């Protein structure tokens, strides 16, 4: 059977690390409050010359090097972001130009923190149906540029970064590697709980992120537990078969609550929110890349990727590495 097989990953972070203590000098907050409520100690913030496009390109280059695949072999780039460099062209096309690959398609998808799962599902469908043969799937964000730095309830939660996967369509046996099952959801009726108050066609501005954190928390735990069960059912595996869960890194308490609901031991959950904070669409591939490079995620492992974000959108995908 033809599956989208994982070939390599890469990630990129801005040069500047910002601790909670440093943030506490800008807004009325404390290291203790941020760590207790979110698990976050540090985040990286983009500086001059660092954009979603430059971070995405660096992550893509690292993923290609990891995969041992030349940029010329890539005939699809799907980039998930809510913070593109420009309204258009798509940031994916900038990455394509920077990598020097000219064949195939390149476009962005917008599903906020679930963006990487939406991008992965899109690339997986295109690879399995023969629309492409070798894809870069990227999550990249510079949320620091849409934060209200005077709103302590949101600005302490987010960071910037990028992560990328290389996937190739390959004929594999039933028990072989590849993306095994994916489920995606959206419910636009919850827009007001998490949104940006501007855009090109409404205000003509970029806007700032607004969130009602408590309500988001409650929905996140319920929705994530449900979609994880759906993906397990669709794939025929049980929670006990999973080697690693790579969740969207929003908040340590959401990660813990979701794992508990599914009966998954905390040791199987990859956590990077402490050092990267919430990097939206970048967080899943960024966390995955960290766990692969430190030797936790290995070839043959069964890995569950999951995310929930603005919209609301949410989804999960099970992959054999
Ligand atoms: N520093 C210090 N105090 C703060 C801060 C801060 N940065 N932010 C809020 N407070 C204060 C509030 O003003 C409030 O004070 P009051 O009691 O005097 O009114 C108090 O802390 C409690 O505020 P709450 O908003 O009720 O705090 P809560 O315990 O709900 O924690 C948090 C807030 C961390 C945002 C939590 O609701 C949460 O984790 N929500 C999930 C949302 C999330 O992670 N979203 C990320 C994007 S969505 C996604 O990726 C899934």
* pLDDT tens-digit readout, 149-163: 999 999 999 999 999
Residue 300: strand, helix, or coil: coil
Structure tokens at 215: 């309500």
How many other CB atoms are there within 10 angstroms of residue 102's CB atom?
12
- The Å distance, Cα 148 to ligand 1 centre, comes to 15
Q: Which atom of ligand 1 is nearest to the CA of 112?
A: 50
Residues framing ligand 1 (Cβ under 6 A) = 29, 33, 37-38, 113, 152-153, 156-157, 194, 211, 213-214, 216-217, 220, 248, 250-251, 253, 278, 308-309
pLDDT on residue 202: 97
Average pLDDT, whole number, for the chain? 96
The atom of ligand 1 lying closest to the CA of 158 is 46
Model confidence pLDDT, tens digit, residues 272-321:
999 999 999 999 999 999 999 999 999 999 999 999 999 999 999 999 99
CATH number of 178-320: 3.40.47.10
| From 42, 134, 248, 251, active-site residue | 248
pLDDT attached to residue 258: 85
pLDDT tens, position by position, 92-119: 999 999 999 988 999 999 999 999 999 9
pLDDT band at 228, cuts 50/70/90? very high
pLDDT tens-digit profile of 115-142?
A: 999 999 999 999 999 999 999 999 999 9
**In the chain, where does the domain assigned CATH 3.40.47.10 lie?**
2-171, 178-320
Residue whose token pair is 């030797």: 295
Over residues 146-195, the pLDDT tens digits come to 999 999 999 999 999 999 999 999 999 999 999 999 999 999 999 999 99
pLDDT at 9 over 90: yes
Find the 147 Cα to ligand 1 centroid distance in Å.
Answer: 15
pLDDT at residue 289 in the model: 98
Whether 276 sits among the annotated catalytic residues: the reply is: no
- pTM of the predicted structure, to 2 decimals: 0.97
Q: pLDDT tens digit string along 212-223?
A: 999 999 899 899
**How is 40-56 classified by DSSP, letter by letter?**
--EEEE--TT--HHHHH
Place of tokens 């929110």: 273
| 75 φ/ψ angles, rounded to the nearest 5 degrees | -120, 15
User: Residue 261: what pLDDT?
Assistant: 83
Q: Which residue minimizes the CA distance to atom 49 of ligand 1?
A: 309
Closest protein CA for atom 29 of ligand 1: 37
Active-site residue among 113, 155, 190, 251?
Answer: 113
The bridge status of strand 16-19 relative to strand 42-45 is antiparallel
**With bands split at pLDDT 50, 70 and 90, how would you rate the model's confidence at 260?**
confident
What pLDDT score was predicted for residue 257?
87
d(CA 114, CA 135): 19
> Does domain 2-171 sit in CATH 3.40.47.10?
yes
| 101 included as an active-site residue | no
**Residues 35-53: pLDDT tens digits?**
999 999 999 999 999 999 9
20 is catalytic: no
**Among 254, 296, 293, 257, which Cα is nearest to 273's?**
254
Atom of ligand 1 nearest to the CA of 38: 34
């Amino acid at each position: 059977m033809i599956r989208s097989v994982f070939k390599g990953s890469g990630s990129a972070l801005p040069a500047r690390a910002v601790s909670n203590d440093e943030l506490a000098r800008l807004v009325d907050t404390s290291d203790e409050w941020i760590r207790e409520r979110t698990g976050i100690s540090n985040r990286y913030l983009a500086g001059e010359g660092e954009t979603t496009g430059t971070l995405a390109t660096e992550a893509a280059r690292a993923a290609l090097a990891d995969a041992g695949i030349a940029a010329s072999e890539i005939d699809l780039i799907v980039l998930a972001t809510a913070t593109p460099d420009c309204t258009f062209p798509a940031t994916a096309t900038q990455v394509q130009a920077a990598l020097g690959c000219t064949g195939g398609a390149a476009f962005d998808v917008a599903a906020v923190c679930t963006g990487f799962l939406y991008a992965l599902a899109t690339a997986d469908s295109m690879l399995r149906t023969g629309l492409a043969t070798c894809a870069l799937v990227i999550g990249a964000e510079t949320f620091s540029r849409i934060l209200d730095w005077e709103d302590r309830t949101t600005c302490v939660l987010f960071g910037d970064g990028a992560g990328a996967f290389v996937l190739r369509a390959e004929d594999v046996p039933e028990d072989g590697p590849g993306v095994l099952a994916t489920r995606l959801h959206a419910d636009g009726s919850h827009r007001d709980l998490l949104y940006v108050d501007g855009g090109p066609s409404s205000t003509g501005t970029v806007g700032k992120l607004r969130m009602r954190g408590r309500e988001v928390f409650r929905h996140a735990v319920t929705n994530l537990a449900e979609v994880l069960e759906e993906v397990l059912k669709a794939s025929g595996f049980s929670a006990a078969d999973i080697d690693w869960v790579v969740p969207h890194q929003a908040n340590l308490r959401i990660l813990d609550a979701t794992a508990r609901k599914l009966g998954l031991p905390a040791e199987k959950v990859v956590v990077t929110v402490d050092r990267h904070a919430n990097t939206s669409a970048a967080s899943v591939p960024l966390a995955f890349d960290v766990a692969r490079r430190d030797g936790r995620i290995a070839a043959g492992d069964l890995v569950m990727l999951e995310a929930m974000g603005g919209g609301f959108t949410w989804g999960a995908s099970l992959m054999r590495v």
